[in-house]
Structure 1
Amino acid sequence: TKLGMYKENCGLENVLLSWGHDEYLYHMLKHNKSTLPKEALAMIRFHSFYPWHTGGDYQHLTNEKDEEMKEWVLKFNKYDLYTKSTKIPDIEALWPYYESLIDKYIPGELSW
């Protein structure tokens, strides 16, 4: 059926998604009680879910929250897809900046 095991407008948070890098990182961050805002978690979880955010599919499962999050996912995708560079970054110079973000949003020892 169109809905399968789901209810109309149940929300994507209630939909089982394929287990890829997006879903893994989202669940790892949630498990470790990340303080990233819900918009950031949505960007991580759904940025590769093109049928939804670009193709217009699965609208029968989405809710109002999903539509709000879609805006953030689309904003993120511009940076995810079109900012690749062939220049190798200076890891040593970047490390303190990224370590401070890790300490801020996922402090302590991570549980994998």
Structure 2
Amino acid sequence: HLVSLQVYHYLHCINALRRAAYQHVYGAPTKEHLNHLDHCIDMLRQAAQCQSDLTPMLYFNPENDPNTMLIKSHQHSCRRFDLVNEWAMARSQCKGNTTCAIEVGKQVGGEM
């Protein structure tokens, strides 16, 4: 059996969803890819519920304006992904597997 860290599965799914959102760059997803996206959405939902991040989120809502804006200055308590990635790659048995090749700090959006 091979073992991987769930964080890589999350990143793989986020990348698959990103590619589907930027069809003008990557092309329309196939039926198989759409089924995979359903799996990814459900898996990320389960992760969010399971991990239940309790980081407070501040909103700007002047005079109960229906266009409430999230203030993006909240602080998360995180693990250092670079150290997790370094630890995992030092023990990796999946050399050449693109699922394992995570580039830290790279832009993840479509054309900017």
TM-score of the aligned structures, taking structure 1 as reference length: 0.30
Mark the structure with the bigger radius of gyration: 2
- Normalising by structure 2, what TM-score? 0.30
